[in-house]
Structure 1
């Protein structure tokens, strides 16, 4: 493996030939010297200028590596540091959301109930399951079959009215999606 250095500077241009004789050339986004993993960004293979291809290359499996353009590691702006608190919060929120979905599966909730739960959870964080019932803001309960008539709570509260609007919109969106799917299936069967 000719030309492999102990370190690749971020921003440098590197070309390598994989064990499948595929040529990859791109800008170095990351390099881990312990695992010899190199991340390269190259122009999009689909031709769109707004996106890039990203290749993760195991240098232990390449036959040739060449540094086409070296960038000084001290030059330029230092990489931005990660906001670990923000990342940890996002991870925690995603784990909680997945736990709620798992709870719905364990409770034997219908797919319609799960979809409604997810639709509400996109905008309201205080949502949970109580058996097969969806409980929102500890004030509004939606019972199976999860239709507008199944929304229960204090009818004078803003939360109740808001949840009814969300359920109504979800029902309309679902009906439109089902109708669109049926039309697509009808078109497909008429072509046969």
Structure 2
């Protein structure tokens, strides 16, 4: 059955569904609840026997459902008193995701061109880099200023300076080749 406006009627508590998402995931689950205002379906996954005492609860925005089929109604309803959330694990995963988002955000230059960001990304593959406003700082000693050419490289030991220049020149050639090919 394809998703449409009337599909929400199929999301009654206790229904067993087989779901395919627009992202290609396929799974089976029992409906715990459906929140119509947010359009979020909460499912208990793992209908196969032998799943053990742990339960996987999935929250899914209903508009991500490509299609689903009704498998039946569960004989035994979910005993929600036995359902629990491991708050420590959830909090740890949240903190880890926030840390990763902060790390990723620091890697994005503010007020720099797409070309400058590409150069930063290329340098970051082999060397430790960070932004200092619009200046790329490599190995905490070599600085690459706009317009991010070999002549824009200053500081650091001669060998570190030369290494940054070499990576910079190779990335500039790659960017020109990619630009010419479009």
TM-score when normalising by structure 1: 0.50
Tell me, what secondary structure is at the counterpart of 1:104?
coil
Q: What's the counterpart of residue 89 of structure 1?
A: 96
Q: What's the counterpart of residue 119 of structure 1?
A: 122
Unaligned runs of 5+ in 2: 1-7, 21-25, 44-59, 79-85
Q: What's the counterpart of residue 187 of structure 1?
A: none
Q: Cα distance, 1:2 vs. partner?
A: 6.6
Query: Contact 2:34 / 2:42 at 8 angstroms: preserved in 1?
Result: no
Is 1:148 aligned to 2:155, yes or no?
no
Unaligned runs of 5+ in 1: 16-25, 41-54, 59-64, 74-80, 182-192
Q: What's the counterpart of residue 33 of structure 1?
A: 33
Partners of 2:143 and 2:31 in 1: how far apart?
Answer: 51
Partners of 2:171 and 2:161 in 1: how far apart?
Answer: 15
Alignment root-mean-square deviation, CA? 4.1
TM-score when normalising by structure 2: 0.52
Query: Do the aligned partners of residues 27 and 136 (structure 1) sit closer, same or farther apart at CA in structure 2, a change above 3 Å counting?
Result: same
Partners of 1:110 and 1:177 in 2: how far apart?
Answer: 16
Q: Cα distance, 1:155 vs. partner?
A: 3.5
Query: Do the aligned partners of residues 162 and 34 (structure 1) sit closer, same or farther apart at CA in structure 2, a change above 3 Å counting?
Result: farther
Alignment of 1:1-192 (within 5 A): 4-8=11-15, 12-13=17-18, 27-28=27-28, 33=33, 35=35, 37-38=40-41, 56-57=61-62, 67-68=70-71, 85=92, 88-101=95-108, 104-105=110-111, 109-129=112-132, 131-157=133-159, 159-181=160-182
